[in-house]
Structure 1
């Protein structure tokens, strides 16, 4: 049920043999994201449960879920880019049907993230699911 953008990341990860290369790719994905408008970096968009500063700003257009995000940490910004690939452009009603743990498991991210980063990733997924549920 993953988007084409997420499938492209999975494909790219399959060609990378070691985690350091994958880690670098995640950081590069984050660097390529547009920065979040400073006006959107407010308490309402801040994600609690992350060691770093994280903001997720949703948009619903034509019953389709979109979001922009940002972080003050490069790796977290990259994780946001991965989540963006997984969720952005999905019909709002289908966002909660995505098994994020299974999809992200294909990338083996959690195996290589610290406990705090893993908790932050879960907090971001929970926030995305909550935002989509509220919009549906």
Structure 2
């Protein structure tokens, strides 16, 4: 599985961005960090509930969860990058402590995004938790 280098993705950077247009630009820039993964584009990896086509795979090795993601939408890829930096390479315990439902609110994105993008982010978070077999604050 191919994992993307998301080391430049930072919630702090997003929080420091002062207006919605700049936040949106940053998210689309992050979307460019997620490389196309043709092998991932199979029915078994589809994320249901995401309006844009999106796929996620999971691997569990040496007590750590790894995730690979792809989408046709650069914005969805950017939102996935924000999610992945919080969930990738984590243990069960680390994942269980996360509040993924509050991530968009904390980032100041929830009020600016369309309901379909908010739902898409939630669908990605739910799918990641299903794949990992943990609950991570999705309410």
Q: TM-score, normalization: structure 2?
A: 0.84
| Structure 1 residue ranges without an equivalent (≥5) | none
- Is the Cα–Cα contact under 8 Å of residues 87 and 95 in structure 1 kept in the other structure? yes
In the TM superposition, residue 12 of structure 1 has moved relative to its aligned partner by 0.8
Q: Which runs of 4+ in 1 moved over 4 A?
A: none
| Counterpart position of 1:98 | 98
- Is the Cα–Cα contact under 8 Å of residues 15 and 108 in structure 2 kept in the other structure? no
Output aligned runs, 1:52-91, within 5 Å. 52-91=52-91
- Partners of 2:15 and 2:120 lie apart in 1 by 24
Aligned residues: 129
In the TM superposition, residue 14 of structure 1 has moved relative to its aligned partner by 2.8
Is 2:109 the partner of 1:109? yes
| Structure 2 residue ranges without an equivalent (≥5) | 1-5, 135-139
Q: CA RMSD in A?
A: 2.0
In the TM superposition, residue 94 of structure 1 has moved relative to its aligned partner by 3.1
Is 2:42 the partner of 1:42? yes
In the TM superposition, residue 108 of structure 1 has moved relative to its aligned partner by 1.5
Structure 1 or 2: larger helix share? 1
Q: TM-score, normalization: structure 1?
A: 0.86
In the TM superposition, residue 34 of structure 1 has moved relative to its aligned partner by 2.4
